Amino acid sequence: MTNERLRSAITGAGLSIDQLSAQIAVDPKTIERWISKERVPHRTHRMAVAVALGKDDVFLWPSTLSDPRTQSASQAEFVAMHPSRGSVPANTWTSLLDQATESIDLLAYAASFLHDSIADFGPRLMDKARQGVQVRLLFGDPTSEAVRLRGEEEGIKHLLAARCELTWAYFAPVLTVPGVTARQHGETVYNSIFRFDDVLLANTHTFGAAASQSPIIHVQRIVGGRLFTTYMQSFERTWDRGVEVSKQEVA
C-alpha cells in the first residue's frame, strides 16, 4: 500500500519531494519510500515532516498513535483542570486574548460570560484582528433544535436561545473588522472551545448543568501530542457545518 495522506499533504503544501527533502534534510529517495512502501520514519523525521506540512504526524502515519512517546506528549499537553468555568480568573481570559498573535477560535452556544464579565472583550478582540490575528467566532443558531434542547436540559428553556441572540448582537461590531469571520451552528456542543494560538481551554458540557458549573481543561499544544489536535478537529468539523453570518444578519 502507499501513503496517500503523505503524498497529498506534500502536494497540498505546494512542495515537491525534493523541496521537502531539502527542508528536513532527508534523502528524496527515503521520502519516496515513505510514500510508495508506506515506511514509518523515526520520530524526529515525523515531527519535522509534520511541521513542514502543517499536518499532525498521527494523521500522516496513523499506526504511530500507540507510540509511547506520542502518548507522553499528549499527557504533557495537559496543563490544569479548573473545577468550573466560574473558577477561571477573569485575567486568565484577558491575558490569553492579549497574548495571541496568530489565531483566536471561539466555539460555544452563547458564551455570554465573555461580554458579561470580561471588560472590553469585544474591543480587545477587534484590536487583535486589526493586528493580523485570525479570529473565528462559532456560536449557536438561536432557532436551532440543538439550542432548544440544550436549554431544556439546563432547565432554562428559551433563555439559551435569547442568550445566543444577545451574543450575536454583542459581536455584531466585531464582524465589521477584516480578519474576523463568523458562523452560526446548530450542532451538539460537547465542549465549548476557546483557542488562543497554542493554548486551548475546553469547557466540558455536563448533562443538566450549566456550562459555567462544569470543568475547564487547560491544554498547551506540544508537537506530537493529541489533546490539542483532537479538540481542534472538533472545532473544524463544527465550523465546516456552520453557516456564515455577517453584521447585517445579526444586527
Average pLDDT over residues 221-232: 86
Q: Tell me the Ramachandran region of residue 208: left when phi exceeds 0, alpha when psi lies from -120 to 50, beta otherwise.
A: left
Residue 228 sits in a domain whose CATH number is 3.30.870.10
Average pLDDT over residues 152-176: 95
DSSP 8-state symbol, 64 = G
Q: Final residue of a domain: which of 19, 48, 66?
A: 66
Mind listing the pLDDT tens digit for each residue in 19-30? 999 999 999 999
Q: Are residues 146 and 34 in the same domain?
A: no
Angle at 132 between CA 102 and CA 53, to 5 degrees: 45
Q: Which three cell numbers stand for residue 71?
A: 502518548
Q: Are residues 127 and 19 in the same domain?
A: no
Average pLDDT over residues 139-150: 97
Mind listing the pLDDT tens digit for each residue in 107-136? 999 999 999 888 899 999 999 999 999 999
Q: Are residues 94 and 46 in the same domain?
A: no
| pLDDT above 90: residue 189 | yes
Number of domains in the chain: 2
Nearest CA to 195 out of 150, 232, 167 is that of: 232
Mind listing the pLDDT tens digit for each residue in 46-102? 888 988 988 877 788 887 767 666 667 667 888 899 999 989 988 899 999 999 999
Q: Which three cell numbers stand for residue 223?
A: 508537537
The whole-model pTM stands at: 0.74
| pLDDT above 80: residue 188 | yes
Nearest CA to 239 out of 93, 105, 149 is that of: 105
DSSP letters along 169-233, please? HHHTGGGGSTTEEEEEE-S--SEEEEEETTEEEEEE--TTS-GGGS-EEEEE--TT-SHHHHHHH
Q: Greater confidence, 55 or 181?
A: 181
Average pLDDT over residues 150-161: 94
| pLDDT above 80: residue 145 | yes
pLDDT for the residue 247: 64
Q: Final residue of a domain: which of 12, 32, 66?
A: 66
Q: Are residues 208 and 139 in the same domain?
A: yes
- Cα(115)–Cα(132) distance, integer angstroms: 22
Which residue segment(s) compose the domain that 55 sits in?
Answer: 4-66
Give the whole-number percent of the chain exceeding pLDDT 90: 68
Q: Are residues 154 and 219 in the same domain?
A: yes
